[in-house]
Structure 1
């Protein structure tokens, strides 16, 4: 197998992550299935018929904000990364990832059909994040009731979209940059206000200088949300890549796809803009696996 290298939400902006996740109202956050045509059935392969090794095999970026792809041991009926249950396909292939604030040690665990357990310890390298200390206090006050009346349905829609399972296979691909330009905001960067940590930047900002620049899908997937006018994100696109991995693109000036559409890597899906709460035209691209926020740069490699 080829494991080639590939690369809930703040009430004020989904481009940043608060110290504690917001609570989502149970009355509105109802998960709906995505209506898409089923992918073509794969042809039988020799790989599917061959027995798998009695150990985990994997490769990727074992650091905060990174990821791995691999294969579970033969005979596995349940697999975990730490306490997080993993999904794996008929050939035992899985995807897993590590949050920006992931602990330095975790492990993969497999429970086999015969009752045995196989564990594989993992060391997750820490990152030296871009931290700015500001000698001013954070702005006091919370979110107003008027804003929350608008914002809560948007948060629920984003939450539900990221829960959808579409069977997409983009997680198996080497990711590409959706657009090239100047990186104006890096994943994980954070301000400290007189010793009080602010929210960290949950994605990567790419600036091309003009509105209307096309951007493309970084990998195959299914559109699970195409929102036209969210208060903070503006025109927001979320693409599911399968196995719990998804991309979000904020502040677009135009979207060319709709919910339920299957997209292929390199397909033109939107144009860069400054919709929502943005200071200028740029593309904010973020990646999540389950509730872990990931660094897009670790999926694509340096921009050329």
Structure 2
């Protein structure tokens, strides 16, 4: 419990926290990266307006999205007060432009009926990503979910059939239809759908610490909601469902509402995925 001291001037003395563990976390990262930190067990923290709780060991993860650049404060909070505990410098990255031709025009300029479906499916996906999952699945270094050629990268500005679209937030791995997709990190299945408008066959796995992975354009979905998945377990197969021009896996990751770069998980030190991108 938090203790407060009343002084004559009716001001509150500096807050006393439940434990004296200082919050530890790297002060530097890059856009699209993840950082892990340590605080008091059960501490409530806030970063980028997202509130979350350190686990029973005091461990937590934060993520920064594609366009987050500059200095941002990590706060420790209570019902009565907020305390700044770290300032994190997020370094800018450069992103490419990706020209994609041959996608179904219906997925570039959807009809009113399609837009209604897109909105409903978006709400379904958003709700799945908010499913609370405890555990330390996230602590193991990631493995590649599939063999193949990298055909698309995080952050690139997409142009579909000549029409500018949203940036790409995943790692695309091109391989023949039917190629096995394996869980890069263990977790719990929170969504398993065979035919979403944009992403086709789609699986979302929650890893704990507010992290979720999404696997898109699958030709087969081999798991069900609620399944506990081990790292390396087959969850589906590569396909070209949804908005796709050829068979590939699109692997994405979210920390709360921040979309982060899965390729960094494979190329840099986990879980501080921006570490090798910064000059110390």
Cα RMSD, aligned residues only: 2.9
Structure 1 position 55, deviation (Å): 2.0
Please say if residues 254 and 271 of structure 1, whose CA atoms lie closer than 8 Å, have aligned partners that are also in contact. yes
Unaligned runs of 5+ in 2: 1-17, 269-280
Which of 123, 142, 145 lines up with 2:112 in the alignment?
145
CA gap 1:256/1:122 in 2 versus in 1, 3 angstroms = same
Residue 56 (structure 2) pairs with residue 90 (structure 1)? yes
TM-score, with normalisation over the residues of structure 1? 0.72
Distance 2:46 2:211 in 1: 16
SS in 1 for 2:122: helix
Distance 1:57 1:117 in 2: 14
Structure 1 position 168, deviation (Å): 4.0
Higher RCO (CA < 8 A, seq sep 6+):
1
Distance 1:53 1:197 in 2: 51
CA gap 1:197/1:228 in 2 versus in 1, 3 angstroms = closer
Please say if residues 76 and 112 of structure 1, whose CA atoms lie closer than 8 Å, have aligned partners that are also in contact. no
TM-score, with normalisation over the residues of structure 2? 0.78
SS in 1 for 2:91: coil
User: Residues 250-271 of structure 1: CA distance to partner in whole angstroms, max 9, x if unpaired?
Assistant: 1111121111100011111111
More strand by share: 2
Residue 187 (structure 2) pairs with residue 221 (structure 1)? yes
Residue 250 (structure 2) pairs with residue 284 (structure 1)? yes
Please say if residues 207 and 281 of structure 1, whose CA atoms lie closer than 8 Å, have aligned partners that are also in contact. yes
Match of 1:122 in 2: 88
Match of 1:3 in 2: none
CA gap 1:161/1:69 in 2 versus in 1, 3 angstroms = same
Residue 243 (structure 2) pairs with residue 272 (structure 1)? no
SS in 1 for 2:259: strand
SS in 2 for 1:298: helix
Match of 1:63 in 2: 30
Please say if residues 216 and 268 of structure 1, whose CA atoms lie closer than 8 Å, have aligned partners that are also in contact. yes
CA gap 1:212/1:132 in 2 versus in 1, 3 angstroms = closer
CA gap 1:164/1:63 in 2 versus in 1, 3 angstroms = same
Please say if residues 272 and 283 of structure 1, whose CA atoms lie closer than 8 Å, have aligned partners that are also in contact. yes
Unaligned runs of 5+ in 1: 1-50
Which of 148, 169, 190 lines up with 2:157 in the alignment?
190
Which of 210, 213, 217 lines up with 1:247 in the alignment?
213
| Residues 83-92 or 284-293, more deviating | 83-92
Distance 2:216 2:228 in 1: 19
Residue 115 (structure 2) pairs with residue 176 (structure 1)? no
